[in-house]
Structure 1
Amino acid sequence: MITINNLEVKYGKEVALLIKSPIKFEAGDRIGIIGSNGAGKTTLVKSILGLINYNGSINTNIRPEDISAHMQSNNYAETMAVKHIIEAVLDTKINKNKRLQDLINFFDFDKCLNKRYSALSGGQKQRLTIILVLIQDSPLVFFDEVTSGLDFETRQQLMSKIEEWYRNKNTTICIVSHYYEELEQLTNKILILENGRVIDFGSKEELFKKYCGNSIITLSKTSENIEITKDFRKIKSPKHLIAIPSFSIEEELEVSKLLIEKDISFKRSNSDIEIMSINAKSKNEVYQKDGETLESKIS
């Protein structure tokens, strides 16, 4: 569907994004694009959408008009009734469009139609833009920080609705987010960017095994827990956690048994995008210090 190769984007003299080895997005992929602020996530989306200039190639069989996107900034007339915004943008009447009616009901948005845009809450504004994106039923969709600034419950509700809407559809979805629980819920592949470079790209399962093993056990980082787990190898994790990787069932049982005996609460996971990405970035830093390129290590 999309092949990206030798892509370079510059802002002045600064290289904002550099993708040397080919990256392919296939039909039906659910791709999470992650990285720190300034990593190049939005720059990549804008490049694919043709909104900014770039060097290199982005080859796709999808026409620009068949791509839809939810960007971070979406502005509408503040004083206009929401129903008029929808009808103006989509060039259709709500009462004559059954699919649009179904989508509005699906997102429990019917009570918002007579409100002015300025009167909508943050979550309601996001629902409006999501409705405008989803009604197009495009084969390729981008969501750039679709739930940014929303509370946890609202984020979960929106992502559940998006996941349900696209269930059993062959739509390719690319979602930029710094909320890892959203990516766990919706994606099957992860693209990790940092400082405008590709750290890694692949299925969640492949990347987790590559950087974390078969599973990980996490527990609170207390002085007691540090002492108890001192003989086990660790991997990088958020500062408040200890993460112990297991590469076999025997290793996992050994750790679990000890923690149970000590009456210590822990969590077991075989798909933790946050810890996986932390370790992927950490290995990249090591490779750079060794004077080798990341691509030579990954290939």
Structure 2
Amino acid sequence: MTNIIETKNLSKTYDEFKAVDSINLKIKKNSVYGILGPNGAGKSTLISMLCTILKPSSGKAIVNGYDVEKESNKVRDSIGIVFQTRAVDNILTGREHLEMHAALYGVDKNVRKERINDVLELIALGSKIDEHVKNYSGGMVRRLEIGRGLIHHPQILFLDEPTLGLDLRTRESIWKYIEELKNTIDITVILTTHYLEEADHLCDEIAIIDNGKIIKTGSPKKLKEELKSDIITLKTSEKEKFSNILENKSFIQDIFNKDDELKLSVEKGENLIPKIIKIAEDENINIKSIEVSHPSLEDVFIKYTGRKISDTSFNKKSKKMRR
């Protein structure tokens, strides 16, 4: 499978602050590629450079065979974009949005109606398409924006936090729509998100980005399998004391802690629960709850960044400090 996007040491600097720091990516054609990271990690800045909205400070990016700096017009002709912030006019109908976007992208008048009808079938807005957008729900607006980004038949569709601010039911509806889109037409979808379940559910591959750097890449399945460990999660009011005790135990690989919760990275977690409970009893430490789980994408994120994706204060206490 050929690569439709490649970057080499792509960077964006504001004064002395590096928003994107020497990023190298290879994204395969006709895949869903996720860029996963917390708010402020550099996701939107990276996407903006790939879409030619921002000029790189250094490095190189090739999108659909075109250099983003030297051939920016050709890049723009081959991509569709759905921005993080809502970008619709409430006084227009959904159909009027599609017609206007088709005209702006120079879609020939002879095929414009057919293109719009194709998109209408994809976004499934029914009779709402002729209503003013001010009457749309958040999910309907998102589907319209995605449809608008498809009207000129782009090779690549950029979705910047497409479900941000939507309730879970609506998010799941958008996920289903993106999956159907992938299975219906030949298109590469680049998705930025800080929702772990979204990346896990939709993406063929992901890149974990933090502080402007790519920390780790791979398929969600492969990244989880690479951990080769279970996670025991326990709650205790004596977190620090118990953490210090467990740190010296050979069967503990890593310890992550926050508030009254400890996450222990171990092998064969089910077999170790009685042992951990016995240690706590011997030390007069009360365990409020304890459970074991197989690695999740959150565990992958914690391993490579040292914190939860939603928590900038999350600290990792590790015996090996592997990165």
In structure 1, the residue matched to 2:79 is 67
Aligned-partner Cα distance in 2 for 1:218–1:181? 20
| Residue among 207, 217, 228 paired with 1:214 | 228
Q: Relative to structure 1, is the Cα distance of residues 237 and 70 closer, same or farther in structure 2, using a 3 angstrom cutoff?
A: farther
Give the 3-state SS of the residue equivalent to 1:25 in structure 2. strand
In structure 2, the residue matched to 1:31 is 33
Q: Relative to structure 1, is the Cα distance of residues 239 and 147 closer, same or farther in structure 2, using a 3 angstrom cutoff?
A: farther
Aligned-partner Cα distance in 2 for 1:89–1:171? 19
Moved more, 214-223 or 274-283: 214-223
In structure 1, the residue matched to 2:44 is 42
Q: Relative to structure 1, is the Cα distance of residues 150 and 220 closer, same or farther in structure 2, using a 3 angstrom cutoff?
A: farther
Aligned-partner Cα distance in 1 for 2:305–2:193? 17
Aligned-partner Cα distance in 2 for 1:278–1:42? 21
Q: Relative to structure 1, is the Cα distance of residues 223 and 198 closer, same or farther in structure 2, using a 3 angstrom cutoff?
A: same
Structure 1 residue ranges without an equivalent (≥5): 284-296
In structure 1, the residue matched to 2:165 is 149
In structure 2, the residue matched to 1:53 is 55
Q: TM-score, normalised by structure 2?
A: 0.71
Aligned-partner Cα distance in 2 for 1:245–1:99? 52
**Residue 112 (1) aligns with residue 128 (2):** yes
Aligned-partner Cα distance in 1 for 2:158–2:229? 30
- Alpha-carbon deviation of 1:53? 1.3
Give the 3-state SS of the residue equivalent to 2:306 in structure 1. helix
Structure with a larger share of its residues in strand: 2
Aligned-partner Cα distance in 2 for 1:217–1:175? 28
Aligned-partner Cα distance in 2 for 1:11–1:214? 39
Structure 2 residue ranges without an equivalent (≥5): 67-73, 277-286, 308-321
Alignment identity in percent?
25
- Alpha-carbon deviation of 1:224? 10
Moved more, 185-194 or 131-140: 131-140
In structure 2, the residue matched to 1:187 is 203
Q: TM-score, normalised by structure 1?
A: 0.76
Compute the RMSD of aligned alpha carbons.
3.6
Aligned-partner Cα distance in 1 for 2:120–2:274? 50
In structure 2, the residue matched to 1:84 is 96
Aligned-partner Cα distance in 2 for 1:101–1:237? 53
In structure 1, the residue matched to 2:279 is none
Aligned-partner Cα distance in 1 for 2:144–2:258? 35
- Alpha-carbon deviation of 1:198? 2.1
The 8 Å contact of residues 214 and 245 in structure 1, kept in 2 or not, is answered as no
**Residue 254 (1) aligns with residue 271 (2):** yes
**Residue correspondences, number:** 276
